[in-house]
Amino acid sequence: MTDPSSLHPPHDGGLLHAPLTEDFIALDPAFGTRFMLFVDTEEEFDWDAPFSRTGHGVTALAGMARGQAFFAQAGVKPCYVTDYPVIDDPAAAAMMAQWLGDGAADIGAHLHPWVNPPHVEEVNAANSYVGFLPEALEKAKLEALCARFEGAFGMRPTVYRAGRYGVGPNSARLLEQAGFRLDSSVRSHFDYSGQHGPNFHGLPVEPYWAGPTRALVELPLSTAFVGRLRGVGGQLFRATEGLGRIAGGLSRAGLLSRIPLTPEGIGIGDTIAAIDALIEDGARVLNFSFHSPTLEAGHTPYVRSADDLEMFYRWWGAVFHHLAKRGIAAASIDEFLAAVPPRTHEMRQSACQAA
């Protein structure tokens, strides 16, 4: 007779698989529904050129300072998940250390493998996803980043986002071992497997426990389906992804669109529709993000000119106004983690047995 357990192998808490039902996190009701902002804080480079260990800069400091002042005035405490070249730049590290010391921002880790030592792998598109490098190399790059982070900020990072959302089969375990408390690399409803990366189709937008012992909180980036067919959005979008004319037709007809919460390439109207859809679906955390070079004109495809930059800030103004109208306030990393209940003894025991 077939052992039923063999049909459902133990879940190792990896970030490429949907969590078990018991892994979902029921946040403290007092937390309400809040929003958070993560900034992928990275070097400036040519997004249209092949990946390179050289040819980048860390020059957008004035733009970052303006952005931080804007968010602070709006009552938002961003989390700057920061990669090796930025941490290694004395001026950038000093500026962010000041924000951290003032309690105006949180700082986490962000890993671009092509510019993060040790430099042993070939630089190419496939190797731009750190989670798909050999386990020992992913671990070595993560440790080098943590060590440089500690040297710059006087503490090891506890928040992580993989560059290009590039977590892999070993990432959750390595993050647990390195002492991280929170990961925000899962970009729900996106599939990068055609580019050698992870497939996040079918993964939730709600926070959940991850890692072999479920010591890691996963806070996915927020994405919503909007349109008259959004009730079957995940299945229908996946079926039509890659069929540009069909997917585009569904969007133009107001039937189905996939909307991530970011100012980069997403209009204000679509973003407001996505916010409302997530609230209607019962989301407790709306997770916004963008890339730090977007804070100055000319570094990313999203802000090419001074006019684009002013539109970026108008986008945030409209979004903050709508969030306030819906009664949704900003939350910091500490506020979010304080709303996460302790893992139960049963959950720890089950995770250890599965690991």
How far apart are alpha carbons 299 and 45 in whole angstroms?
A: 7
Res 222 pLDDT > 50:
yes
Residue 18, in any domain of the structure? no
Q: Determine the 3-state secondary structure of 149 from DSSP.
A: helix
On average, the pLDDT of the chain sits at 92
Strand pairing class (257-260; 223-226): antiparallel
Look up residue 296 and give its two tokens: 């100055």
Res 252 pLDDT > 90:
no
How large is the average pLDDT for residues 121-127?
98
Would residue 29 be called left, alpha or beta, if left means φ above 0 and alpha means ψ between -120 and 50 degrees?
alpha
Q: Measuring CA to CA, which residue among 224, 325, 319 is closest to residue 272? A: 319
pLDDT of residue 343: 84
271-306 confidence digits (pLDDT tens): 999 999 999 999 999 999 999 999 999 999 999 999
Residue 234, in any domain of the structure? no
How far apart are alpha carbons 87 and 162 in whole angstroms?
A: 15
Residue 228, in any domain of the structure? no
Residue 353, in any domain of the structure? no
How far apart are alpha carbons 129 and 111 in whole angstroms?
A: 9
How large is the average pLDDT for residues 307-329?
98
Residue 140, in any domain of the structure? yes
How far apart are alpha carbons 341 and 329 in whole angstroms?
A: 20
Residue 65, in any domain of the structure? yes
46-76 confidence digits (pLDDT tens): 999 999 999 999 999 999 999 999 999 999 9
Band (7; pLDDT cuts 50, 70, 90)? very low
Q: Determine the 3-state secondary structure of 145 from DSSP.
A: helix
pLDDT of residue 10: 73
Give the domain extent around 45.
25-222+283-345
How far apart are alpha carbons 183 and 252 in whole angstroms?
A: 34
How large is the average pLDDT for residues 79-88?
98
Residue 306, in any domain of the structure? yes
Q: Measuring CA to CA, which residue among 91, 102, 107, 113 is closest to residue 149? A: 107
252 versus 217: the higher-pLDDT residue is: 217
pLDDT of residue 4: 41
How far apart are alpha carbons 211 and 201 in whole angstroms?
A: 19
Q: Percentage of the chain with pLDDT > 70?
A: 87
How far apart are alpha carbons 16 and 298 in whole angstroms?
A: 34
pLDDT of residue 203: 96
Count of structural domains within the chain: 1
Res 353 pLDDT > 60:
no
Look up residue 269 and give its two tokens: 């109207």
Q: What stretch of H or E contains 288?
A: strand 285-291
Res 247 pLDDT > 90:
no
Residue carrying the six token digits 């004035």: 62
How far apart are alpha carbons 37 and 217 in whole angstroms?
A: 16
How large is the average pLDDT for residues 157-169?
98
Q: What is the CATH number of the domain that holds 200?
A: 3.20.20.370
